[in-house]
Every structure is written in structure tokens, then in C-alpha cells.
Amino acid sequence: EVQLVQSGAEVKKPGESLKISCKGSGYSFTSYWIGWVRQMPGKGLEWMGIIYPGDSDTRYSPSFQGQVTISADKSISTAYLQWSSLKASDTAMYYCARPEGIWGQGTLVTVSS
Amino acid sequence: DIQMTQSPSSLSASVGDRVTITCRASQGISNYLAWYQQKPGKVPKLLIYAASTLQSGVPSRFSGSGSGTDFTLTISSLQPEDVATYYCQKYNSAPHTFGQGTKLEIK
């Protein structure tokens, strides 16, 4: 079965760093793009960026460029989304997703002092 | 970047009604358009891709049409389980922008 399994919920303080993960299984991890999507509480879906694990080609939405880093480790079939300095406004559900319609279960990130 | 605009933002209809949601791209995107359904507290579910291709397992009352800049999602006979927010998404090139969503309720 093709699936994306994300890391668990996180509670962080403003200014802290964070890296969340998305592990792919049931398919050739290096052959398919994986993207990240943000959903703030009560709001819509926002596309953040995407990576092709085969060669690490990465594209960002202008809204998120410089705010987050997307990476992948093909040796362990895992994609990552990371922040160097979290803000309260980063509080949201984050999904990884393949454009073919395969989504992870979501990782809730809460940033609060 | 190409903007995706959905209308209406919210919609209330009766069971059995035919419901149509539109999505407009600010520039042509050929047929690189997907529709997602998201129920409260759930992961978005792909309904339609390539503007009009029904994802496996999706009920046939859902259909999509359009090409270029104008697209529609149609539910031929609204069911109670269709209460959700619906999003269009372009995927011809990055960024794969979503529309702002259409919240569908039962009247």
C-alpha cells in the first residue's frame, strides 16, 4: 500500500527550531514529487513547496520561500519540513502530499510561549 | 504567479440538488486542475484530476469539466455526506496553488 506517514504533533516556543518528517512507503520514493501544505486553524489549504527526492530539485511558493526549508533523505525514504526560528503564526496543521492524491495524516505544530 | 479563484465561498443546498462550484485561473493551465474534498478534521481527499478524471472510488455523482482558465465541479445529486469544503488546485507548474475553498452545507 502506498502511504505517507508523518511525525507526531509538536509543541514549541517562539524562536525554537523544528524539523518534521514524512516517510513514504509502498512505492519508489525517488520517483515521485512530495509537497507540503499548510492549514492554519479554521483556514484553507496553502501550498508551501515541493521536492523531487531523486535529485532534490525543490520549488517553493513565494509566500514560504526563505521561511522554511524542504529536504529529503532518499536513503530512508523521508521528506522533511523545517523551521530555524518558529513564530506563533506557524501554528497550523502541516500535510505532506504527493500530487497524485496521496496525503500524510498531518502533523499539528503549536507554537506558544 | 497564477491565482486560483473559487466561487462561491459558501453554498447551502438541499439533498438531491445539483450543485456547481467554479474555479478560475488567472492564466491558462490547460487541464492541470484537481479538486479536493475536505471534511472537518479530516485529510483532504482527491476527487478529480486532469480537470475531469474521476479518482478511483469517488462516487459518480461528482464530475469535473473545463480547460484553460475556467473549471467546474458538479455534484449531480447532493447527499448529506457531501457536506465539506471543496478546493481546486492547479498543478501545471510550481507553485501548485489552491483556491480559497467553497464550504458546502445542507439546507
Distance CA A21, CA A7 (A): 5
pLDDT at A109: 98
Contacts of A68 in chain B (CB under 8 A): none
Contacts of B9 in chain A (CB under 8 A): none
Q: Does B62 touch chain A (CB under 8 A)?
A: no
The per-residue pLDDT for range B7-54, each reduced to its tens digit, is: 999 999 999 999 999 999 999 999 999 999 999 999 999 999 999 999
pLDDT at B26: 97
Residue B104: pLDDT band (50, 70, 90) is very high
Nearest-CA distance B52 → chain A (Å): 14
pLDDT at B96: 97
pLDDT at B107: 94
Nearest-CA distance A113 → chain B (Å): 25
Contacts of A4 in chain B (CB under 8 A): none
- Contact predicate A95/A36, CB 8 Å: yes
Instruction: Give backbone dihedrals phi and psi of B62, rounded to 5 degrees, phi first.
Output: -90, 135
Distance CA B58, CA A18 (A): 36
pLDDT at B55: 96
> What residues of chain B, 77 to 106, have a C-beta less than 8 Å from chain A?
85, 87, 89, 91, 94-101
The per-residue pLDDT for range B43-66, each reduced to its tens digit, is: 999 999 999 999 999 999 999 999
* A35 class by beta-carbon count within 10 Å (0-12 exposed, 13-18 middle, 19+ buried): buried
Nearest-CA distance B95 → chain A (Å): 5
pLDDT at A64: 97
**A44: nearest CB among B46, B87, B96:** B87
User: CB–CB of B98 and A104 under 8 A?
Assistant: no
Contacts of A61 in chain B (CB under 8 A): 94-95, 97
**Cα distance between the two ends of chain B:** 37
User: CB–CB of B89 and A47 under 8 A?
Assistant: yes
Q: Which residues of chain A have pLDDT under 50?
A: none
